[in-house]
A and B are shown apart, each in its own frame.
Chain A
C-alpha cells in the first residue's frame, strides 16, 4: 500500500515529477485486498486432496470394482481436464503465453496427475508394458513435456523433469531429493551428475534458441542442486578419492560463480557458497582423521577451522554482495 504522504513530501522536494505524483494521487484511498495467494493455495490443496483421495480409493477398492470401471473413471476425469485446457488455451507461442484463467493451471495439473494414475494402474491391471517398467515413467514424461510447452505450464514442467529423473532412476522432488536416493551407489551418483549437467545444458539452449526461454530458471535450478548434491555425494562416497571429488565440486562452484556474476544472482552465490563450504569442511575433517591426530587435537583444529573458514565465508559473501550490486 503506497503512503501518499511520503510521496507528497518527495514531490515537494522536487524528487518526483508532477505526472508521477498525479498517478499516485489517482490511486484509490483504500485499495481492495488481493486474495490471489490465498485462492491459489486453496486450489493447490484441492488438487492434492482429489488426486490423493482418488489414488487411495482405487487402492482400497481394487477387489470390489472392476479394473475397467476404475480405468474408465480416471480416464474420463483426466480427459475432461485436458479438454477444458485445450478449449481454453492461449494461442501457442515459443515465447511466454499467459493462462486464460486462474483455474487453467490447476486443471492441467489435475489432468496430468490423473494421467499418471491411469498409466500406473493400466500397467498394474493389464501389464501392458510387460517387463519394460521404464515406460511407465517414459510415457508420462513425454506427455508432461509436451503439455508443459504446449500449455506453457511451469508446474507441469517440474513434474516432467521429475519423471525424466525417475526414468533414469533418481528422485528429484525437492523434499525427497536427499531422503529417497541411495547416494551410496556409485552408479546413481554418476547418473545424477550427468542428469544435472544435462538439465543445465537444456536450460542454456532453451535461452539461447529462445524456446520458452522463461523455463530456463526451472532447468537451471533443478540442474544446479542435482549437480552439487551428486558432487557432494561423490565426495562422501568415494572415501579414498575425496581430494579428486573436491576438485570436481569446485568445477560447478566456479561455473555458478561466473553465472551468478553474469546473471546478478544473489541466490546462486548463496547456494554455491553453502554447498562448497559443506564439501570443503568434510574434506578438512577427513584429512585430519587421516593424519592420525588425537581426538582432542582434532576437536581444537576443527573449532579453529570452522571459526576461521566461516569468517572467511562471511567476508566472501559481503564482498560478492557489494560486487554484484555495483554491476
Chain B
C-alpha cells in the first residue's frame, strides 16, 4: 500500500539510530559510515533546510499553475469541478512519478504534492452537488488514502479533524448544536481515537506509520481538550451560542473537564513516561488557568503575572535540584548545547522584545526614543 520503498524508510530509521549512537559515544563515526554504506538504499532525501526550500518552491509552482489554468479557462464553459479534478489528478500523477520513479522520500517536493493533491481534490469535491455529509465523507476517504499511501502525518491529523466534523454533521442534521452535551460526545470520540491509535503506536508492524499515529494522537488529544474547554465553548464563535439554555446546564461539566483533562494528560504522561502527554498537559493547564482568569479574575493582572512568574521560576528550580539524578524514571540532563543556546538567544530576543522598542522616525546615533524598559521621552 505504501508508495515509498520499505528499504528507504528503514534506512531513514537506521540512520537516526546510528546518529544517536554516535552522539552518545557508543559507536564511532567510521562505524556509522560502514553501516550506512551496507544498507544504502536508492532514494532522494535532502537535508531539512533544503527540504523546506523545495517544499516552498513546489507550492509556488502549484499556485502559479492553478492561476495559469484558471486564467486560461476564464471565459470558458468548463465547470470549476472539472478544472480542480484535472489539476488534482495531475498533481497526484506527478507525485506518484516522483516517488515511484525518481525515488523522492520526504524530499519536501513529495510532501508539498501530497498537500496540493488533497487541497485540489477536496476543492473538486466541494464543487459537486452532493450534500455536506457526502462531501465530507468522500474527503475523509481521500485523506485516509493519502495517509496510507504516503504515510503523511499532516494527512493523518487532517483525517481526525474531518472525521469529527463528519460526526457533527451526522449527529446534528440541522447544522446546529441541538444538544448541549454534543461537544462532550465529540470530545469523547476524539479521546477514543487517541486510545485506539496509542494501541498501535509501538507496533513494529506499523513502524512506517509511527509518525502518522503520533500525529493522530496529538490531534485527538488537542481536539478533545479544545472541544470541552469552557472558554472555547462560551467565547469562541460556534453554533452552541444559538442554544444558550441547554448549554448552560453543561457549564459545570465543562469547568470540571477544563481543569481535570490537562491534569489527566499530565498524570498519564508521567505514568507512561510520554513527553507528548506531559507537554499537552502543561499547555492545557496554562490554558485552563487563563480560562479561569478570563471569567473570574481573582487578582489584578500584574499581581497574577508576578505570582505565577515566581511559581514558574521556583518549580523548575526545585525540579532541577530534585532531578539532578534519576528519580522515578525522570532526569534533568542538559543536552547538546550549541543549537539550544542559539535557539535560546533568538527566543530570548523575541520573548523579551520589550527591551528594544522601535524608533519613531529617528535613526541618528543616540537619538532614538528610548530603547530601555519600554521607557523614553514618550513613556
Binding site for B on A (CB under 8 A): 2-3, 6-7, 10, 13, 15-17, 20, 23-24, 27, 30, 32-40, 42-57, 60, 98, 101-103, 105-106, 109-110, 113, 116-121, 123-124, 131-141, 154-159, 161-163, 165-176, 180-182, 185, 187-188, 191, 214, 217-218, 221, 266-267, 269-270, 273-274, 296, 299-300, 302-304, 306-307, 310-311, 313-314, 317-318, 320-321, 324-325
A137 touching B64, Cβ below 8 Å: no
Pick from A44, A170, A173, A270: contact of B50, CB under 8 Å: A270
Pick from A2, A172, A187, A314: contact of B17, CB under 8 Å: A2
B350 touching A137, Cβ below 8 Å: no
A36 touching B60, Cβ below 8 Å: no
Q: How far is the CA of A121 from the CA of B344 in the complex (A)?
A: 27
Q: How far is the CA of A101 from the CA of B355 in the complex (A)?
A: 25
B356 touching A46, Cβ below 8 Å: no
Q: How far is the CA of A300 from the CA of B362 in the complex (A)?
A: 43
Q: How far is the CA of A16 from the CA of B307 in the complex (A)?
A: 54
Q: How far is the CA of A119 from the CA of B376 in the complex (A)?
A: 10
B366 touching A132, Cβ below 8 Å: yes
Q: How far is the CA of A219 from the CA of B111 in the complex (A)?
A: 33
Q: How far is the CA of A307 from the CA of B50 in the complex (A)?
A: 19
**Is B359 interfacial (CB-CB < 8 Å)?**
yes
Closest B residue to A309 by beta carbon equals B60
**Is B306 interfacial (CB-CB < 8 Å)?**
yes
A169 touching B31, Cβ below 8 Å: no
Q: How far is the CA of A136 from the CA of B56 in the complex (A)?
A: 41
B348 touching A53, Cβ below 8 Å: no
A52 touching B305, Cβ below 8 Å: yes
Interface-facing stretch out of B161-169, B240-248, B332-340: B332-340
A53 touching B304, Cβ below 8 Å: yes
**Is B1 interfacial (CB-CB < 8 Å)?**
no
B358 touching A321, Cβ below 8 Å: no
Q: How far is the CA of A51 from the CA of B273 in the complex (A)?
A: 33
Q: How far is the CA of A27 from the CA of B23 in the complex (A)?
A: 14
Q: Which of B58-108 contact A (CB under 8 A)?
A: 58, 60-61, 63-65, 67-68, 71
Chain B residues whose CB sits within 8 angstroms of the CB of A23 once the complex forms: 25-27
Q: How far is the CA of A20 from the CA of B21 in the complex (A)?
A: 9
Q: How far is the CA of A57 from the CA of B310 in the complex (A)?
A: 15
Given contacts A20-B31, A167-B365, contact A137 B371 (CB under 8 A): yes
Chain B residues whose CB sits within 8 angstroms of the CB of A218 once the complex forms: 342, 345
B329 touching A32, Cβ below 8 Å: yes
B309 touching A55, Cβ below 8 Å: no
7 contacts between A and B (CB under 8 A): A20-B21, A52-B305, A53-B304, A55-B354, A103-B320, A221-B342, A318-B50
